[in-house]
Amino acid sequence: MMHLGKYQTLVIDHFASAGAYLKESGGAETVLLPGKEIPEGAQIGDLLTVFLYKDSEDRLIATTAKPKIMVGEMALLTVKQTSPIGAFLDWGLSKDLLLPFKETKGELKPGQQVLVTLYVDKSARLAASMRVDKLLSAESHYQDGDQVQGIVYAVKEEIGAFVAVDGRYYGLIPRQELYERLKPGDTVSARVLKRRPDGKLNLSPRKKAYAQLGEDAAVIWQHLEETGGILGVGDKSDAALIKAELSMSKNAFKRAAGHLMKEGKIRVYDDRIERT
């Protein structure tokens, strides 16, 4: 049986002007390997390991090229172009891979990378899907406080950013921990805030308060440098304004501003801070 979207080792049955026709040992169904891909010196009866997909005319075809993803796997692929029916991804083969519109999460742009899985659709064609959560596990070894790496695969403003930790495990950066705008395909480094009872991981891209303090102070100082020494957020400023201006919480801002004030670098007012 021919397996669409996977590697198979097949035997050369015969040659024709279009290329070599391959089949399973003892089988009857054949598939074309185009002539330009036939290994030099290949003969009838030789075994070849090939990947099976469908060409632009929807015919099953073999290739010796190595795609970046197989059925049931996940991979980070680049968007080549978008259209009303979806996005077309570079997956290492001459025919681009379709990511149908209904399988996307968020707006996509050419050049953007997205984490996808490969599946066979109802029309027996290969397609990509950003719905990778079904392939993720809740059985990671990570515990509270561990540092992890992951790829964002979806963002819902009311919930947060969904992350494939190590490309294998469920992770979520809750909405209240999102201090920068993330999009699908972004790579993040995060700290495990909590390992939930179901095994899923709540994450934060920020370090513990004492470790984050120096970085936050540097952010404030850089903004002061860029704005001529006055920054329009202060001790009584709204948390949303601080988050929009500095990508940090109000508490983090107060800690960092207090640190700079103790060093004699700034003055803090209700509605602004000023460099001394």
The tens digit of pLDDT for each residue in 114-171 reads: 999 999 999 899 999 999 998 999 999 999 989 999 999 999 989 999 999 999 999 9
Question: Residue 207 pLDDT > 70, yes or no?
Answer: no
> What share of the chain has pLDDT > 90, as a percent?
61
* 233-259 mean pLDDT: 81
Residues 164 and 181 in one domain: yes
> What share of the chain has pLDDT > 70, as a percent?
97
Confidence of residue 238 (pLDDT cuts 50, 70, 90): confident
Segments forming the whole domain that contains residue 271? 209-275
Residues 141 and 187 in one domain: yes
Residue 181, domain CATH:
2.40.50.140
Of 64, 55, 109, the C-alpha closest to 82 is 109
Residues 58 and 11 in one domain: yes
Asked if residue 113 belongs to a domain, the reply is: yes
CB 206 within 8 A of CB 252: yes
Residues 95 and 129 in one domain: yes
* 252-256 mean pLDDT: 78
Confidence of residue 176 (pLDDT cuts 50, 70, 90): confident
Question: Residue 190 pLDDT > 80, yes or no?
Answer: yes
Q: In what order do the strands lie in the sheet with 230-231?
A: 230-231, 273-275, 266-268
Of 172, 182, 33, the C-alpha closest to 112 is 182
CB 245 within 8 A of CB 233: yes
Residues paired with residue 164 on neighbouring β-strands, in sequence order: 151, 170
Asked if residue 177 belongs to a domain, the reply is: yes
Tokens, residue 191: 């700290």
* 187-193 mean pLDDT: 92
CB 94 within 8 A of CB 34: no
Burial degree of 62 (CB within 10 A; 0-12, 13-18, 19+): buried
User: pLDDT tens digits, residue range 12-23?
Assistant: 999 999 999 999
Residue 258, domain CATH:
1.10.10.10
- The H or E element spanning position 180 is none
Asked if residue 68 belongs to a domain, the reply is: no
Residues 29 and 85 in one domain: no
Question: Residue 177 pLDDT > 70, yes or no?
Answer: yes
In the numeric block, the tokens 């992770």 are attached to 171
- CA atoms within 13 A of residue 258's CA, in its CB half-sphere: 9
